[in-house]
């Protein structure tokens, strides 16, 4: 059995004055899976004993001189380097890659933390949707003096701005004991949902007939001519639990009585199909590239069914508009530009160094693997293994920047595309544990259209 010894700071009076003390040796021993816990004063003695007992040992350290890692001070490494009549070898070449590789699969304790982060974040997504639904039902009322002689209380808040949705999401996580968000929340209403990592979260929802973004609505529904335009609200947010991340995206309808417009619903259902078809494949051994390719295939078929992409049977069309020809052209990357998911753990985009081999001999781009643009932003390019935790997050976006270069493509029916551009974007993201037999979805908030619309309209 390996022996693991952990050295933690000793509580000093000045430190305790400014902040809470570090745990005692006894308390640290209860929560860390180590052989022994001690204070740094004991470290030189331990190193001297080890150096004498194992004169031929190779000592591994994290990269020295890197701004990312604190170096082991010279007073400790000197003991190793100058012990006895032999010089011990010290190397920083292997430990970090080994840790990164080990982090690709999770232990039971890690899975428990990720599960808890997902459950808290799932409830926070549902809280935002239920507050939106309560407003549609007219169930959010203000008692006397609210917003006039006193500030609004949480139960009186309407969600009419991206910032209000973010505040309620974060508040829900905090009251459940999560200290940090795993990343800056992305809260994008209307066409801002087409920006993948939008995290300004500072705009009002789109209003009619007043101008959007006038920033003067102040929770006041008194003007009968003022209403929320039908739009989507994309929230990509997840909290941390015990240093482990969650990463969940839900796209919900705002305005229109809390129901999607026909165009938004069609795009939502297509993205959900991309996700469901992806999940059917998940099991150890499946190469992640195959999930990426499948999503492009589902998107292309869906766009052909909607008429955004032409089919061989479209007027004036031909075999150059077959699904395979469109796949080979790479044009679907303009609408699904990012990777379908990534490893998740202590970091939200976990261990990128171990997730993407520099040379990937199993993948040949060509007719069978689609277009190389599909893989440009794919953060994971490995076969799946049991106990990996990954996100599955297909999306479909109408970004003016990405559409501009392909607008005149022979594959696109421009009149139909124009009807869908106002949707902005839809992403649906769940966190998945790869199991022996397949997978387990660690994200508990639902995503089917009936449930999302039921909650956001206040009917459920």
What three-state secondary structure class fits 356? coil
Smallest distance, ligand GLY to C-beta of residue 425, A: 13
Burial (0-12, 13-18, 19+ Cβ within 10 Å), 261:
middle
Q: Which of 110, 204, 247, 350 is the binder for ligand GLY (CB under 6 A)? A: 247
293 within 8 A of 301, measured Cβ to Cβ: no
397 within 8 A of 193, measured Cβ to Cβ: yes
Smallest distance, ligand GLY to C-beta of residue 349, A: 6
Residue reference for tokens 């204070």? 39
Angle at 432 between CA 429 and CA 434, to 5 degrees: 150
Residue reference for tokens 């796949």? 327
- Mention every residue, 6+ apart, whose C-beta is less than 8 A from residue 120: 172, 173, 176, 177, 178, 239, 241, 246
Q: Does 288 bind ligand GLY (CB under 6 A)?
A: no
343 vs 457, beta carbon nearer ligand GLY: 343
Per CB under 5 A, which of residues 426..445 are in contact with Mn ion? 429
Q: Does 157 bind ligand GLY (CB under 6 A)?
A: no
Q: Which of 47, 97, 37 is nearest to 72 (CA)?
A: 47
Name the binder of 61 from Mn ion, ligand GLY, none, CB < 5-8 A by kind. Answer: none
Q: Which of 162, 204, 236, 350 is the binder for ligand GLY (CB under 6 A)? A: 236
- Per DSSP bridges, beta strands 89-91 and 58-60 are parallel
Smallest distance, ligand GLY to C-beta of residue 188, A: 12
Name the binder of 166 from Mn ion, ligand GLY, none, CB < 5-8 A by kind. Answer: none
396 within 8 A of 369, measured Cβ to Cβ: no
Distance CA 301, CA 324 (A): 10
The rounded Cα 332 to chain-centroid distance in angstroms is 22
Q: Which of 166, 204, 350, 429 is the binder for ligand GLY (CB under 6 A)? A: 429
256 vs 292, beta carbon nearer Mn ion: 292
Q: Which of 110, 162, 393, 453 is the binder for ligand GLY (CB under 6 A)? A: 393
* Phi, psi dihedral angles at 98 (to 5 degrees): -65, -40
Name the binder of 110 from ligand GLY, Mn ion, none, CB < 5-8 A by kind. Answer: none
Q: Does 247 bind Mn ion (CB under 5 A)?
A: yes
Please say whether the dihedral angle defined by the alpha carbons of residues 369, 371, 373 and 374, taken in this order, is positive or negative: negative
Name the binder of 183 from ligand GLY, Mn ion, none, CB < 5-8 A by kind. Answer: ligand GLY
133 vs 238, beta carbon nearer ligand GLY: 238
Smallest distance, ligand GLY to C-beta of residue 197, A: 7
Select the span of 77-85, 140-148, 231-239, 379-387 touching Mn ion (CB under 5 A). 231-239
252 vs 412, beta carbon nearer ligand GLY: 252
Interface pattern 353-392 for ligand GLY (x via CB under 6 A): ----------------------------------------
Residue reference for tokens 């808890």? 116
Residue reference for tokens 């039902």? 137
Smallest distance, ligand GLY to C-beta of residue 377, A: 10
115 vs 379, beta carbon nearer ligand GLY: 379
Q: Which of 160, 236, 240, 289 is the binder for Mn ion (CB under 5 A)? A: 236
> How many CB atoms lie under 10 A from the CB of residue 108?
7
Smallest distance, Mn ion to C-beta of residue 347, A: 11
Please say whether the dihedral angle defined by the alpha carbons of residues 262, 266, 268 and 269, taken in this order, is positive or negative: positive
Per CB under 6 A, which of residues 160..189 are in contact with ligand GLY? 183
95 within 8 A of 353, measured Cβ to Cβ: no
For the chain, give the number of residues.
460
Angle between helices 262-281 and 414-421 (to 10 degrees): 90
**Interface with ligand GLY: number of residues (CB under 6 A):** 6
Smallest distance, ligand GLY to C-beta of residue 236, A: 5
Smallest distance, Mn ion to C-beta of residue 419, A: 28
Q: Which of 246, 251, 333, 391 is the binder for Mn ion (CB under 5 A)? A: 391
What three-state secondary structure class fits 405? helix
Name the binder of 272 from Mn ion, ligand GLY, none, CB < 5-8 A by kind. Answer: none
Smallest distance, Mn ion to C-beta of residue 133, A: 23
The residues pairing with 181 across neighbouring beta strands, listed in sequence order, are 239
Q: Which residues bind Mn ion (CB under 5 A)?
A: 236, 247, 391, 393, 429
Q: Which residues bind ligand GLY (CB under 6 A)?
A: 183, 236, 247, 348, 393, 429
């Amino acid at each position: 059995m390996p022996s693991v010894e952990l050295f933690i700071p000793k509580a000093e009076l000045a430190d305790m004055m400014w902040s809470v003390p570090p745990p005692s040796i006894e308390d640290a021993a209860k929560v860390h899976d180590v052989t022994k816990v001690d204070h740094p004063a004991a470290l030189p003695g331990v190193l001297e004993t080890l150096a004498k007992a194992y004169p031929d040992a190779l000592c591994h350290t994290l990269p020295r001189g890197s701004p990312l890692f604190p170096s082991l001070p010279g007073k400790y490494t000197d003991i190793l380097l100058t012990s006895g009549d032999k010089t011990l070898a010290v190397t920083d070449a292997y430990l970090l890659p080994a840790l990164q590789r080990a982090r690709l699969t999770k232990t039971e304790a890690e899975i428990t933390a990720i599960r808890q982060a997902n459950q808290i974040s799932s409830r926070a997504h549902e809280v935002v949707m239920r507050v939106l639904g309560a407003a549609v039902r007219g169930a959010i009322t203000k008692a006397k003096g609210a917003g006039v002689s006193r500030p609004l209380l949480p139960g009186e808040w309407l969600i009419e701005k991206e910032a209000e949705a973010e505040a309620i999401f974060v508040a829900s996580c905090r009251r459940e004991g999560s200290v940090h968000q795993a990343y800056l929340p992305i809260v994008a209403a209307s066409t801002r949902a087409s920006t993948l990592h939008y995290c300004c979260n500072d705009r009002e929802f789109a209003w009619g007939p007043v101008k959007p973004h006038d920033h003067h609505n102040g929770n006041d529904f008194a003007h009968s001519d003022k209403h929320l335009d039908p739009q989507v609200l994309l929230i990509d947010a997840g909290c941390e639990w015990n240093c482990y991340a969650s990463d969940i995206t839900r796209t919900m309808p705002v305005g229109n009585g809390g129901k999607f417009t026909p165009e938004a619903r069609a795009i939502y259902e297509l993205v959900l199909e991309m996700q469901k078809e992806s999940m059917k494949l998940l099991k150890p051994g499946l190469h992640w590239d195959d999930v990426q390719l499948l999503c492009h295939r589902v998107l292309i078929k869906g766009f052909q069914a909607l008429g955004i992409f032409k089919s061989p049977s479209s007027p004036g069309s031909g075999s150059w508009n077959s699904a395979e020809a469109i796949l080979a052209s790479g044009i679907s990357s303009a609408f699904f530009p990012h990777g379908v998911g990534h490893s998740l753990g202590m970091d939200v985009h976990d261990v990128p160094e171990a997730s993407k081999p520099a040379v990937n001999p199993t993948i040949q781009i060509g007719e069978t693997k689609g277009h190389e643009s599909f893989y440009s932003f794919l953060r994971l390019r490995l076969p799946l293994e049991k106990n990996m935790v990954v996100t599955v997050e297909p999306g479909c976006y109408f970004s003016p920047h990405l559409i501009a270069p392909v607008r005149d493509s022979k594959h696109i029916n421009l009149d139909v595309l124009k009807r869908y551009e106002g949707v902005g974007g839809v992403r649906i993201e769940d966190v998945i544990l790869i199991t022996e037999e397949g997978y387990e979805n660690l994200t508990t908030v639902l995503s089917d259209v009936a449930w999302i619309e039921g909650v956001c309209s206040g009917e459920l």
